[in-house]
Amino acid sequence: MHNGSDMMMKMYFHTDFGDTILFKGWMVMKSAELAGAWFAIFILAALYEGLKVLREQLLVQQSKGRRLNTSIEASTTKLTISDTRLSQDKGIMRSMCDPMHLLQTLLHIVQVVISYFLMLIFMTYQVYLCLAVALGAGVGYFIFGWKRSTIVDLGEHCH
């Protein structure tokens, strides 16, 4: 049963006002609110692209350092088979607790949350907000994408 205060979500592209963006208190009721929301979403989408590039660059730096350390350890250490297993277990724990890996984990969480936010914003089907997501991602890729070191992004979320 619906009363007059219930608002149904539009499941089609539209340019109407009255959409809630992510949180109950963030509603677009006027042109000025739409302009502010558009700008904020545009910036969020652009920064999302920058975050992806940042994580990739940190991962490349981390892997270069790891390869160097591994080759140094291999050339200077002689281990028995039982020592090797113990060394591998310690190496795994050291790698998982490495500050750079912890930073990557935190940045991954932020990236996933932002990607879902952008997806949910797009799912309002409000044409101008959808354009903010698409254009912000495009501008972000233009600004940051040239720094990418991989051709295929396997860590892509929600688009």
The residue-averaged pLDDT of 25-48 equals 95
Query: What residues make up the domain containing 79?
Result: 43-147
- What torsion do the CA atoms of 115, 117, 121, 124 make, to the nearest 10 degrees? 110
Q: Reply yes or no on whether the pLDDT at 78 is more than 60.
A: no
Q: Is residue 33 part of a domain?
A: no
Total number of domains in the chain: 1
Residue 122 covered by a domain: yes
Higher pLDDT, 11 or 45: 45
User: Residues 43, 136: contact at Cβ < 8 Å?
Assistant: yes
CA distance 134 to 53: 17
What gap in Å lies between CA 157 and CA 109, rounded to an integer? Answer: 11
The torsion defined by the Cα of 23, 25, 31 and 35, in degrees rounded to 10, comes to -50
Is the predicted pLDDT of residue 2 greater than 50, yes or no?
Answer: no
Residue 83 has pLDDT above 70, yes or no: no
Cα 46 from Cα 104, distance rounded (Å): 20
* Model confidence at 70: pLDDT above 80: no
Beta-bridged to residue 126, according to DSSP, are 14
Tell me which of 71-85, 113-127, 140-154 is least confident: 71-85
In a domain, residue 71? The reply is yes
Is 90 part of any domain? yes
74 contacts: CB under 8 Å, gap ≥ 6: none
Asked if residue 142 is part of any domain, the answer here is: yes
Residue 140: Cβ-neighbour burial (10 angstroms; 0-12, 13-18, 19+): buried
* 27 is a domain residue: no
The pair of structure tokens assigned to 75 is 């050339």
For 106-124, the pLDDT digits (tens) are 999 999 999 999 999 999 9
Amino acid identity, position 93: M
Does 48 map to a domain? yes
